[in-house]
Chain A
Amino acid sequence: MGFMANVPRLDGLIERLESADALDDLQGIIEELRDDLGVDHVVYHWVNSNGQQYGCGTYGDWAVRYAEKGYLRIDPVVQGCFQRFHPVDWKRLDWSGKAARAFLRDAIEHGVGNQGFSIPIRGPNGQFALFTLSHNCDDDTWEAFTEDNRRDLILVAHYFNQKALELEPGRTPEAAQPLSPREIEAMTLLAVGYNRAQAADTLSISEHTLRVYVESARFKLGAMNTTHAVARALSRGLIVV
């Protein structure tokens, strides 16, 4: 047992995301993510500063129709998220315009669902991406789902984007974000079984400070939680115990 005992359901998927080596792989992973989350659709869409686009997702025919109809111009989700950084429940957007209402009706008819949650992502050099889930259910169910899973979804969205950037054709791969010595110390103590209080005490920092260092390390390691981050740091040889 040990630290891999309570790895949540998304960790397997994150592992497959990590080992993806072509943009085409992301389509299979996003379908799997939809199944894991139990929602109707998951979509990832990215625009870089040159206006180049890439997307994958489970909309199927709706994606084609969306492009044909030029819905990008009237979609309140795009208007409400572009160049911002807070996650948005679709209900909070302005659907009052005639075009927006017609668009929403069309989307629901094509199986998008009556609920949506979109996470804007800021990448390097003006890159912008949107990670969206949509579903058909009542408001309370959706609110409970997004509230319970918000932080996990935000992390998954960012890891998806990091992978997409890494696999962007013609891109020179950037060196993986290295951990600082302090982050390595913190992860090492957790790996050998120290709890947070003990690790913080050993490093002469507060538990809050430790939490922030571990949080940063987790993100740089592309992990969903601390145990997963420790496992990754070990498997990459960043820490040795």
Chain B
Amino acid sequence: MRIELVKRKEHSEVMVFLSPVIAVLLTALTAGIIFALSGLNPFEALYKFFIDPLTQTWSLEDTIAAATPLVLIACGLAVCYLSNNWNIGAEGQFVVGALFGSFLPVMLPGFESFLTLPLMLVCGMIGGALWALIPAFLKTRFNTNEILTSLMLVYVASLLLDYLVRGPWRDPDGFNFPESRIFSDAATLPSIPGTSISMATVITIGIALVLTVILTKTLKGFEIRVMGQSPRAGSFAGFSSKRLSLFAFGLSGALAGLAGIMVVSGEMNQLQPTISPGYGFTAIIVAFLGRLNPVGIIVAGFVLALSYIGGEGVQSAMGVSDKIASVIQGLLLFFVLACDTLILYRIRFSSRRAPASAEVSHV
């Protein structure tokens, strides 16, 4: 017997909206079974994991803080993926953005004015964009595979950061430890007064909304979607796929770079050998969970951040291994993709040889 996926003639509109909900419920169910098998009260664990972080102001704020860089990077990646540009190197663009943005507070610590912070953010965007334009240029000029080049540049970027914090940018008062000097107040991204929600969150939501308008209401948005779905049709309309590649990479690099400098300036206040727990890679998941739609990405980023904060919560309260949090994140992604697949395909069991067909894919 064989199992086949057969494309559905039409897919249910209701299920498009229900599928993420079903996926979350299935994740919760499976997670509960895992908790029970490891000898924990599944209800208590699930509560700690998914609900408890939402009940207290500080953990809610933590979740928002963790979601912010993910959402910002994922918004840029969505533009890339919609237009068929496979930028996998947001992690590196994040790091280089942080480096460019940190040039001012590290090299000119005495420059403290109201201009310091805006200049840092702009430098961060430039840095990230330049780093992303390298694979874009290689793709458009030499036809290299951007998945490989953008990914490889991640490692170059993190080694560059490593070199700088151990070498030229090391804190002169830091006992040779690998860290830059601490940023001055003028170089620190503030919070919204009266809360501990960073300005980075406000900026990120603003950018996501602007991107929504661009993608749905403007010619550029149309160009992005057309070139992604049918480059040939796009070229008849006079769109250049090379220019669009440069645009998409530049934009997503700039947003990743902005996320980088905002994390460093707002949360860490200095450069360290590691500045990202893998935001650039997690953002790829966020982009797809959010269906490459900025508003969807905000929701997806929040859900994923919740899984991190909730994972810490069950760890600290119930002594669960941190691997369980990773397993649950993996389950979530698995169920979302599985539910999505079943919207477009149905499963067919057959005992005979199936006729060769382009619409059948074997599992």
A, B: real partners: no
